[in-house]
Amino acid sequence: MQKVILAIDEGTTNVKSLLLNKQGKVISKGSAPLSINFPSVGVVEQDPLEIIEKMKVSIALAVDSIEGDVEIEAVAISNQRESVVLWERLTGKPLTQVMSWQCRRSESLCEALRQDDAFSRYVQTSTGLTLDPMFPATKVSMALKQIPDGHARAEKGEICIGTINTWMVWNMAHNVFVTDASNAARTQLFNIGSQAWDTTILTRLEISAAALPDVVASSQVVGLTTEFGVLKEGIPIASQVGDSHAALYGHGGYKAGVVKATYGTGSSVMAAMSILPSIRDEISTTIAWDDATLFYGLEGNITHTGSAIDWTRRMLGVESMDAMCELAAQADSDHTVYFVPALSGLGAPYWDLDATGIFCGLKSSTEREDIARSSFESVLFQVADVFHVIADELPEKIECLSVDGGPTLNDWLMQAQADLLGVTIRRGDVAEVSAVGAGYLAGLSIGWWENKEALATLEGEVTLFEPRADKQAYWQARYLGWKTAVAKCRLSSCS
């Protein structure tokens, strides 16, 4: 009988379940799609009960697709960050839909709070995060006002407030109400210096600490499963960690000088540090994980990368992403068309919520191919914007950028990224690196691996994209053009 760790990666669009063996290899997978709802402008929601049901489906698919018997020795959780849900402590019944990280419903509240410069600065220095609707704090504050007797019930401990990992653990272990340091740090309610819920912010937003979960390590057994789909009772839930943090861990980000970029609907560029770094306006300072040693993280969140390519594909009437790649490959590489995909403002390093999308450099010679290519190039340039800020903060020189996510399968995109940044791009052979990172944390918790040095021996095959010296001048010139396009984008938003 094979002994495995079940690593569940709950994302925005699907739930994936992987079975990981002691050699660090993924031996089975299962996946189930999730729906996303847009009930009104700026409001993005998901069904919390659907997430639980799709977890069960994906787990069953992973277990059923492997020959022979397996013994699941631990459960690991990687989850979409910042999305939040409120439920009744007594019954476990949801009181809200999942308010997605993409949801902008609390924009007006954030804007009002930003008018108080002292409080706005306090939030940033305490949590490492700029006041923004992406983070749960302001959405939770609004939700409590909309629930009958919400504030009073929260103070009595009758309401639970949790990010998706907390909701998953609650349903798998029944009434275990915890979160880990990485997810707590993304709520904008957690003081990353003192590692505690911040009473000043809670008071201002009228959120009771009694409704918040206990904060535990990312690598720690927090409870045992009850019957959950095909899972038997008594399996240790041994890790929980935000997906971007898990991806960095899976890339070996616990070692100095490792920076990772996750390319998806949006993108995250992140590096870990053993000391609390300086707070900067351009990027977030956060907690990367707690694996018996607390690591901090520097991260830039980019709102539209893969979604920018998909938006352009739909505008051009291109049927598939493969066809979009082929169209972009036919573009004249000397045509200077730039697309700044500020489709809901600009994220890191600009944090300009008023910015609107813009195409620059259009001429009578511009073709559909040029527009398509500009959407791919917008991913390269946005990642470079954040990479350079992080590079300025790290004490060591960055030699390599580890990458994951669907768009990284595009070899042209990865080679261009290497040429632009002037560093080696390192792409692993496992796409689900977030789940693997969570699995590593769980394995450490139950003693599968003695230490992080042992994890380093588990690395699989990698593909390297080395920067080409003869292409760097070309990409630097285009990058300067991108900077000009961003400046025009932000200027147009002010007029």
Shared-domain flag, residues 59 and 118: yes
Say which range, 303-307, 396-400, 445-449, has the weakest mean pLDDT: 396-400
- Which residues, 6 or more positions from 295, have their beta carbon under 8 angstroms from its beta carbon? 254, 272, 273, 274, 287, 288, 289
Return d(Cα 63, Cα 86) in angstroms, integer. 31
SS3 37: strand
- Is residue 454 in a domain? no
Q: What is the pLDDT of residue 428?
A: 84
Return d(Cα 341, Cα 65) in angstroms, integer. 40
Quick one: DSSP state of residue 167? H
Q: What is the pLDDT of residue 266?
A: 85
Return d(Cα 338, Cα 327) in angstroms, integer. 16
Q: What is the pLDDT of residue 495?
A: 47
Q: What is the pLDDT of residue 492?
A: 62
| Chain centre distance of CA 491 | 29
pLDDT single digits (tens) 141-180 = 999 999 999 999 999 999 999 999 999 999 999 889 999 9
- Which residues, 6 or more positions from 347, have their beta carbon under 8 angstroms from its beta carbon? 266, 300, 301, 302, 303
Shared-domain flag, residues 155 and 99: yes
Return d(Cα 222, Cα 212) in angstroms, integer. 16
- Is residue 441 in a domain? no
- Is residue 450 in a domain? no
| Chain centre distance of CA 20 | 22
Residues 151/208, Cβ–Cβ less than 8 Å = yes
Compute the average pLDDT of residues 35-50: 93
Return d(Cα 204, Cα 126) in angstroms, integer. 14
How many structural domains compose the chain?
2
pTM of the predicted model as reported, rounded to 2 decimal places: 0.88
The DSSP H or E segment spanning 119 is helix 117-127
Domain-terminating residue out of 243, 278, 295:
243
Shared-domain flag, residues 231 and 345: no
Compute the average pLDDT of residues 257-285: 85
pLDDT single digits (tens) 382-411 = 999 999 999 988 888 888 899 988 888 899
Q: What is the largest CA-CA distance in the chain?
A: 67
Return d(Cα 226, Cα 235) in angstroms, integer. 8
Of 248, 227, 251, 224, which Cα lies nearest the Cα of 238?
224
- What does the mean pLDDT of the chain come to? 92
How many CB atoms lie under 10 A from the CB of residue 285?
A: 23
- Is residue 446 in a domain? no
- Is residue 445 in a domain? no
Shared-domain flag, residues 219 and 286: no
Compute the average pLDDT of residues 233-254: 93
Q: The dihedral of CA 46, 151, 179, 175: what is its sign?
A: negative
Tokens 């000391």 -> residue: 275
Q: Among residues of the chain, what percentage have pLDDT more than 90?
A: 73
Shared-domain flag, residues 187 and 257: no
Which pair of structure tokens corresponds to residue 420? 């632009």
Shared-domain flag, residues 15 and 130: yes
pLDDT single digits (tens) 453-495 = 888 888 778 899 999 999 999 999 999 999 999 998 887 655 4
pLDDT single digits (tens) 187-198 = 999 999 999 999
Shared-domain flag, residues 39 and 133: yes
- Is residue 281 in a domain? yes
pLDDT at 366 over 60: yes
Of 138, 129, 130, which Cα lies nearest the Cα of 99?
138
Q: The domain that contains 260 carries what CATH number?
A: 3.30.420.40
Domain-terminating residue out of 188, 212, 243:
243
Q: What is the pLDDT of residue 195?
A: 93
Q: What is the pLDDT of residue 69?
A: 82
Shared-domain flag, residues 406 and 279: yes
Domain-terminating residue out of 243, 259, 275:
243
Domain hosting residue 219, numbered range = 2-243
Return d(Cα 487, Cα 466) in angstroms, integer. 30
Shared-domain flag, residues 148 and 282: no
Phi, psi of 130 (to 5 degrees): -75, 140
Compute the average pLDDT of residues 312-325: 93
Q: What is the pLDDT of residue 9?
A: 95
SS3 46: strand
pLDDT single digits (tens) 283-300 = 889 999 999 899 999 999
